[in-house]
Each structure stands twice: as structure tokens, then as C-alpha cells.
Structure 1
């Protein structure tokens, strides 16, 4: 019994020992967040379980897009803007959140860290400016100004969702 408790605590400590956050400090060379009042147009994206209704979105450099994200599925989903390499890194962060118990199939939950004194628990969060989580039956928004012509993806990086097809092409042209 003691060994099982120790292994469980060790797993929690290992999961929490490396910082897990959606890295807002990393530069986004394709643009930046913007207030919804600056949007030049709105694009609705419906999320079902393991699919987006939009498969591709075309944008012009300089446009500010208000993405209206409607989750009609039974699971928590994410809308994240980035390239394939950024999504791969973010998927690893989301996996750590899931393994820690913070990320559940239907939402994010606050961690009870009272029994783990001395650890920095403020590092585990989901606050990337180019990403939003949308709970089942809810609607959220993300507004972004695109400053560079590039090929991106919009994706759900919750473990397994990207691989199941929750990814679309986002083309920013001159």
C-alpha cells in the first residue's frame, strides 16, 4: 500500500516537475491577438466530436478575424492557430495536462495542490493567446490580426483529437 501511494505521488511530481503552459512568451510571427471590436470579419467554426465544419479558411494579410467557435460535440475541444511544428509541441503540453488530471474529456479542472507543498503550481495553465478551449455546448471567440503571408493550421491539440482529424488549413495571402 505504501509503495502504491509513493508511486502515485512520484508520478504526480514527475508530471508537475516540468513547466506546462501554452507558451505565450514564444513569438508568433504570423500575427497577434486583437480586440473583437477591431475585427474586419467573423468566421464561424463549428466543432463536433473529432471534426471542424470548416476544413480550410482563407485570409488576407492585415485582416483581423473574429473566430466564433461553437462546440456542438460532447467533448472539450481546442481552437489553436499555428504551424504543424507548433501543434506538435502543444500536443505534448496538453498530454502532460491530461496526465496530471488537469485536462478532462469535458473540461479543465483546478488542481488540488494542498498536499504537494513547496511546488510551483502556477506554471500549469492553458493561456496561449492563439488558442482557446471550448467546453461541450459552449461558444467562445478568438480574435487575431494576421500580419504575414503564410500557411498555417487551426487545430484541436487535446490528446488524440488532431490525429482523429480535428485540423484544418488556414492560408494567409497577400
Structure 2
């Protein structure tokens, strides 16, 4: 087994361990509605969804087990960026733009998706998402600042950044953020 394979196996084992611990801890937490103001918080303070023709550039992001490439992105306040996200890993991952506090408040909703069978380790169960939506009034992501991506697939987020503040892009699938799957967004004027 090569060093790279050993490191990958260790990262996967860590993710599974942290995910299991997160599931147990979150089962006692209260749950907000996925897609509500409680999920990523009010996103207007960090920016707003952009239109493809407004994008000044495209930034490609690769998601792996517990890390992103690149690990940080620099943008200007008022700039609209088209993020093309490719999941190169073996698990479902999220790309979400938010503050650390917003990521923390979003965690129980992601856990609810796991508990309802919507988020499986390697895929998103669309039938379970529809069932959850029918019974609870909400299901999958419906915000412009995030996308869930299955292994081997791609997604897109087009975002117009507002003010200079500390932002991150992160994966809020239970256990992933806690194991370090996040990157910094540096905003300048």
C-alpha cells in the first residue's frame, strides 16, 4: 500500500468516525428547516446568488475526502464568481459559502437529512428528499450559496460577494466540517 493510499484510508476512517460521533450527538439537538433562514442564516449579509453573465471569472474547486483544492480563494467585495465544483471523493460532499457561525447553525439540518435517509454516504436519495419535503415542508438545498454533490459529479454556485468579512467554503455533511473540510474566502475592497 502506497503512502497516498494509506493517507486516504486514514482520512476516510476519520470521516466515518467523526460522522458516527456527530450522529449520536445530534440526535438530541433540535432541528430547524433545511432551506430556512436558520440553515445558513440570512445570506444577504455575505452576498447573494449571481447570474452567469455577471461572473467576472470561474474558480474550479475539487472536493476530496476532508479537503478542497484549492484550500483558499481570494475575491473582491462586489465581485461575482462562478464556482465549478467537482466531487473527486467517494462520499457526498457540500460546497457552502458562509461564516463559521452560519456553518455551525446549519449542522443540525444536515443531520436531519441524514436521519431521514436523504444523505447517504455515497449518494443523495431523491425519493427520501421528496418524502421529507412532503411530510415537513422542506427537503433539499434551495439556497444559492451551497450545493450538494455526489461522488464523481459536478455542481455550480454563482455568488456575488458583498462586504469584507471572514467567510469559508465548507462541507456540512455530518463529521466533514469537524474533520477539517473547509477553506477560506479572502475578500478585499
TM-score band (shorter)? Answer: 0.7 to 0.9
Whole-Å Cα distance in 2 between the matches of residues 132 and 24 of structure 1? Answer: 16
Q: Are positions 1:142 and 2:157 aligned together?
A: yes
Deviations 1:21-73 (A, max 9, x none): 13258422121001122100111110111110111111111110000101111
Alignment of 1:151-162 (within 5 A): 151-162=166-177
| Alignment check: 8 A CA contact 2:118 2:129 kept | no
Which of 117, 134, 139 is matched with 1:101 structurally?
117
When residues 40 and 19 of structure 1 are mapped into structure 2, their CA distance, relative to the original with a 3 A threshold, is same
- Higher radius of gyration, 1 or 2: 1
When residues 24 and 106 of structure 1 are mapped into structure 2, their CA distance, relative to the original with a 3 A threshold, is farther
1:23 is matched with 36
Whole-Å Cα distance in 1 between the matches of residues 31 and 179 of structure 2? Answer: 27
Alignment gaps of 5+ in structure 2: 1-26
Shift of the alpha carbon at 1:150?
1.1
Count of residue pairs the alignment pairs up? 157
When residues 97 and 112 of structure 1 are mapped into structure 2, their CA distance, relative to the original with a 3 A threshold, is closer
Instruction: Please identify which structure carries the higher helix content.
Output: 2
Whole-Å Cα distance in 2 between the matches of residues 103 and 45 of structure 1? Answer: 21
RMSD over aligned Cα atoms: 2.5
Q: Are positions 1:56 and 2:76 aligned together?
A: no
SS at match of 2:81: strand
SS at match of 2:166: strand
Whole-Å Cα distance in 2 between the matches of residues 97 and 158 of structure 1? Answer: 9
Alignment gaps of 5+ in structure 1: 1-13
**TM-score under structure 2 normalisation?**
0.75
